[in-house]
Structure 1
Amino acid sequence: MAHGDITHIDIPVGDTDRARTFYSGLFGWDIAEAPGFEGYPMWRAPNQISGGGLAPREEGFTSPRSYVEVDSIEESLAQVEALGGKVLMGRSQISPTSWWAVFEDLDGNRLGLYEGVTTMD
């Protein structure tokens, strides 16, 4: 994926097993937990391109959140602030080769940033 592409969508859920049954039945998504990501099942659409996770619902995370791939999280977060947005969570490591962050735009929408390469196979 390239800078600016939507790379991942997290869906907040209260009951992972119930959500797994619902989404796999509704859309045919392949949903499984990867080693090292227990409690966070990842979904992949039949096109084998679209995907995301079923993440625990918590305060501040009650609506689906899209993640946009960027070349540099630090540079993107600086742009967020320069353009009037708000950094909610700075760069945080996912794996040795990937990171994420969360920001809020001018209308209060919360989006994630993704940088790097994550292999789940």
Structure 2
Amino acid sequence: MAHGDITHIDIPVTDKERAKGFYSGLFGWQIDAPPGFEDYPMWRAPNQISGGGLAPRDGGFDQPRSYVEVDSIDDALAKVRELGGAVLMEKSEISPTSWWAVLEDPDGNRIGLYEGTTDAG
């Protein structure tokens, strides 16, 4: 993935098993919870590139959220503030080599950011 690519889409759900059946039946998505993320079933589209997760619908998370890969979440969040957006969730670790954050653009759209590396060094 390159800077600016959409890398992941989370879909808020209230019943994970129902959602798994719906999306796998409708689109042919493979849906499995990876080790360490048992409460977060992740989907992969037939192209084996597109993917995302089925996340709990809660609080302000009530619409699908796209995640855009960036080279540096820290730099991107500074730019969000500079351009009149808001940071809804600061940089948080997913794993030792990947992080995420959530922003809101000036029109109120919520978008996730993703930064990852291929090695821990």
Could you tell me the TM-score, scaled by structure 1's length? 0.96
1:5, CA displacement in angstroms?
Answer: 0.2
**Aligned residue type for 1:101:** A
Runs of 4+ in 1 over 3 A off after TM superposition: none
1:39-93, CA deviations, whole angstroms, 9 ceiling, x for partnerless residues? 1000000000000000000011000000000000000000000000000000000
**Aligned residue type for 2:75:** E
SS in 1 for 2:100: strand
Structure 2, gaps ≥5 residues long: none
- Map 1:36-51 to 2 at 5 A: 36-51=36-51
Quote the sequence identity (%): 76
Match of 1:84 in 2: 84
Q: Provide the rounded CA distance (Å) in 2 between the counterparts of 1:26 and 1:74.
A: 37
Q: Provide the rounded CA distance (Å) in 1 between the counterparts of 2:96 and 2:36.
A: 12
**Aligned residue type for 2:65:** R
Match of 1:93 in 2: 93
1:117, CA displacement in angstroms?
Answer: 3.9
Could you tell me the TM-score, scaled by structure 2's length? 0.96
Match of 1:56 in 2: 56
Q: Provide the rounded CA distance (Å) in 1 between the counterparts of 2:68 and 2:117.
A: 13
Q: Provide the rounded CA distance (Å) in 2 between the counterparts of 1:40 and 1:15.
A: 12
**Aligned residue type for 2:73:** I
**Aligned residue type for 2:13:** V
1:104, CA displacement in angstroms?
Answer: 0.2
Match of 2:111 in 1: 111
Q: Provide the rounded CA distance (Å) in 1 between the counterparts of 2:93 and 2:117.
A: 11
Q: Provide the rounded CA distance (Å) in 2 between the counterparts of 1:13 and 1:95.
A: 23
Match of 2:12 in 1: 12
